[in-house]
Structure 1
């Protein structure tokens, strides 16, 4: 039986069962579960309280991570929640809630990642795809985001990188410079056609 409900600050309550402290819970659980002094609480209700509390704590932990750093994908958040010791059921429920409310959007993450790369470390589609796969983004989302990259823009990015890089090859024979530039652009994820077009522009035959 609930024998007392005390305010615990920060929108929390301390719930007492049979005159003993039971648990600190979110204050809105009073209305969500109809908690009141004198209420006889069944085992099933206690289980539901504990499960709902874990989901809330997992969600709050994930939201705090997202506020600290906006580079968390869904798989990364799941990894962090597992490391924190939350149950799989609690993790799944909290992640579903965060997705439903728009806190987790892997498409938004992917777009931000591409923009960040464009500004600091430009990459071609192939490398961007690999990086996003390694981040745990699903292929359908990756394909959708990459399809929005304009081919002309990718070509201009590759050309800009090549013009900067080729300055280091001035003392090399042409065939060596071509081989090195080809490797440089390929390693950065640019496709064959893009690489060939850039080679023709920056290195004379």
Structure 2
């Protein structure tokens, strides 16, 4: 059954969408990109309406995904999860993800690489913990293996993490220092052997600095 477009009006709350009136009554809304070819007086079939609404759902999913990733980079898994939470069907989600990946807006390889670099520099932790974090974000084993292959050695990462945390522990007894710093490094995923060596090095360095400062006075 054919229906006639009797009015096309821009939505007040969202100027990127158009209200479609069929046979004198409001029928549905579309994004401008999907409504651009429609004209008042044009007749459209139910099949055309269904197709327009399907395309509009895909565009709606795409726009919501763009907004979601605008705040910070996201993984494919995170975007899919967000779209499902917004009740988009699997077919639309699949098409939206293809669009996002094709345009480079979602790239798990780049995400994982940046994650490793930022973690290593600003929040040092073990390769084991970083690997777990990436797996938790559903990054593929292949990508994880690729981005963690050239990581800073564990011993150096442990030292970086320990040096930052040790600044909070100045002036406390050795036993307390060892316990707190060891616990911190273990929570960052480092092995006991690396933790023991690292904590001892940090303690020795601090003692040496204290000694040098005392002699310099």
- Per-residue CA deviations over 1:122-164 (Å, capped at 9, x if unaligned) read 111110000111122222221111123233xx43221233455
Secondary structure, in 3 states, of the residue corresponding to 1:102?
coil
Contact 2:9 2:20 in 1 (8 A): no
Counterpart-to-counterpart distance in 2, 1:117 and 1:172: 29
Secondary structure, in 3 states, of the residue corresponding to 1:72?
coil
**Could you tell me the TM-score, scaled by structure 1's length?**
0.76
Contact 1:8 1:24 in 2 (8 A): no
Q: How does 1:114-193 map to 2 (within 5 A)?
A: 114-151=116-153, 154-162=154-162, 165=166, 171-172=174-175, 185-190=185-190
Counterpart-to-counterpart distance in 1, 2:17 and 2:56: 11
Cα distance, 1:184 vs. partner?
A: 5.1
Count of residues paired in the alignment:
196
Contact 2:5 2:43 in 1 (8 A): no
Cα distance, 1:192 vs. partner?
A: 7.5
**Could you tell me the TM-score, scaled by structure 2's length?**
0.72
Distance 1:48 1:142, change over 3 A: same
Cα distance, 1:24 vs. partner?
A: 1.6
RMSD: 3.2
Secondary structure, in 3 states, of the residue corresponding to 2:43?
coil
- Per-residue CA deviations over 1:28-48 (Å, capped at 9, x if unaligned) read 2245xx433343322222211
Q: Which consecutive residues of structure 1, in runs of 5 or more, have no partner in the other structure?
A: none
Bigger mean CA offset, 34-43 vs 16-25 = 34-43
Counterpart-to-counterpart distance in 1, 2:16 and 2:181: 60
Matched with 1:17 is: 22
